[in-house]
Structure 1
């Protein structure tokens, strides 16, 4: 099942033990196919596992993959596009939300493609606490290397021109969506 383009969906991220990690109140789907779901969050409410709520500050283009153990958030800021990559289970859409399991490791990527690996200690801690299997650990590190290579090669979604094209597509789709709602 895939979400429909031109519709809002929820995003839900869990932990390995099934507990909720983080939710986003809305994401506007601009692309949905067997290879990826692309959705925009723009002033969306986010709720953390501890109940803390916050509003996203800038538009972000989110890439969810059904065949990769990561997702990518490209944040559009004044000084360029920055990326935040989450090592996570392949994403699914169940008719309610785009869902995945967060596996702690993250890569922060600057607008000049400088990479910073984050939360290795959290990954080790949660791996022991939640009993990540050896097979899972192997997959996570393999997908991390794949992700780093994509960043190095500036492959999709790490191509600033692609982000600009998708953001412009979103602006057009959002305006058309608003016009449809007003005329109904």
Structure 2
């Protein structure tokens, strides 16, 4: 663990299986690091896509980055409730420069009423063939999608009511001390 990260901004880099960069966030403010995860917030953060396009995030988002699970969960705090965008992805690591993970295309969108939608299944099939994900990796990724759906339906982990709001409050305390 690197407790020195807590209370500081870090870069966030997302890659594809072939090692190419997919997306970069200019900063994420680290709220917590444990042996199991990082919890990071971004708000109006510059994002650069692999094709050079640049945009800013629209709302505060609590990012739950597990160190030992093959997914991450972005909890977007909006006026009508918390929306969850989940990436099937490699476990997140910090290499001294940035938090990094590999995006594996499959995504899960969970709405404030906990209804959900699986996204990008065709992109997943294409990249699986192009980048040779392999049978074992395919099994891991599909199991993790099932785990995420179950967590959302049980409102557990980062899906539990109040999770995003709690961490947004922690962030506001950091800001008020500056």
Q: TM-score range by the shorter chain?
A: over 0.9
- 1:38 deviates by 0.3
Asked if 1:67 corresponds to 2:68, the answer is yes
> Structure 2: where are the runs of 5+ without partners?
none
Alignment of 1:26-175 (within 5 A): 26-175=27-176
Measure, in 2, the Cα distance between the counterparts of 1:88 and 1:162. Answer: 21
> Structure 1: where are the runs of 5+ without partners?
179-184
- 1:4 deviates by 1.5
- 1:167 deviates by 0.7
Measure, in 2, the Cα distance between the counterparts of 1:14 and 1:35. Answer: 21
With structure 2 as the length reference, what TM-score do the two structures score? 0.97
Considering only aligned residues, what root-mean-square deviation do their CA atoms show, in Å?
0.9
Measure, in 2, the Cα distance between the counterparts of 1:95 and 1:160. Answer: 33
With structure 1 as the length reference, what TM-score do the two structures score? 0.94
Please give the per-residue CA displacement for 1:86-124, whole angstroms capped at 9, x wherever unaligned: 000000011111100000000011111111000000000
Which of structure 1's runs of 4+ aligned residues deviate more than 6 A?
Answer: none
- 1:160 deviates by 2.6
Measure, in 1, the Cα distance between the counterparts of 2:114 and 2:97. Answer: 34
- 1:175 deviates by 2.2
Aligned length: 177
